[in-house]
Amino acid sequence: MKAKNRKTGSKVKNAQSGRLDKKLLAYSVAAGAVLTLTPQAQAAIVYSGLKNWTVDSGNTPVLVDLNGDANDDVRIYYTTSAGSWHSLKAFGTNGASLLYTNSSFKKLISGSIISSLKTVWTTSDYYLNATSTGAATIGYFINSTGFIGVKFTIGANTHYGWIRYSGTNGTSGTIIDWAYEDTPDAPMQPALAYLLHQYPP
């Protein structure tokens, strides 16, 4: 019986050690990202928590209020054109703008840095994912998940953030979550917010 207890205790210690190792790794990577991205020691990430909001023909538009001030910053909506195109599109509101290229919003990866160095911003509506009855497609989120870069204001200050979005072939999409830097003009990196969410202090 004593040997069994020692064995069980060893398993528990190993499991705890594994979790601790993961946390330490996440903290070290996150800390490195903070040092790389932001000279401001007090910069902090504001994270929405998982939302998983569906956007489709029965639920459109969906409004995203990044900082919870009761004013939406981004609208994502479904639209159809004479029955031949099914599209998910988005646009910035109340001064917010999104990163785009070639008439579609950019799909950023987790290591992307969203900052003032990015220059192609728009408040206009462009495609996230769209498809036609002839199987033509538009957008970088066709059956794919990524991050939409967002620039918006709180008062007179500019803040950077992202919305994680997953698209289908053009009939629907999912707003998974979002985050932003609460320090004005501080760069934002999706990977950093994810790590801090997965392994909170």
Mean pLDDT of 70-80: 97
Question: In DSSP terms, which residues pair with 149 in a beta bridge?
Answer: 162
Q: List CB contacts of 19: < 8 A, sequence separation 6 or more.
A: none
152 in any annotated domain: yes
What confidence tier does 183 reach under pLDDT thresholds 50, 70, 90?
Answer: very high
Between 102 and 28, name the one with better pLDDT: 102
Lowest-confidence region among 22-26, 58-62, 67-71, 127-131 = 22-26
Establish if 27 belongs to a structural domain: no
Kindly state whether residue 40 falls inside one of the protein's structural domains: no
pTM score, two decimals? Answer: 0.77
> How many domains does the chain fold into?
1
> Within a domain: residue 179?
yes
pLDDT of residue 42: 54
Examine residue 8 and state whether it is found in any structural domain, yes or no: no
* Residue 82 confidence class, pLDDT cut points 50, 70, 90: confident
Is the residue at 29 inside a domain? no
Domain membership of residue 101 as a residue range: 45-198
Confidence of residue 191 (pLDDT cuts 50, 70, 90): confident
Q: How confident is the model at residue 133 (pLDDT cuts 50, 70, 90)?
A: confident
Q: What is the rounded CA–CA span in Å between residue 146 and residue 141?
A: 7
In a domain, 157, yes or no: yes
Half-sphere exposure of 76 (CA within 13 A, CB side): 29
| Confidence band, pLDDT 50/70/90 cuts, at residue 43 | low
CA-wise closest residue to 53 among 40, 28, 72:
72
33 falls within a domain: no
* Mean pLDDT across 165-178: 95
Cα gap 144→173, rounded to integer Å: 10
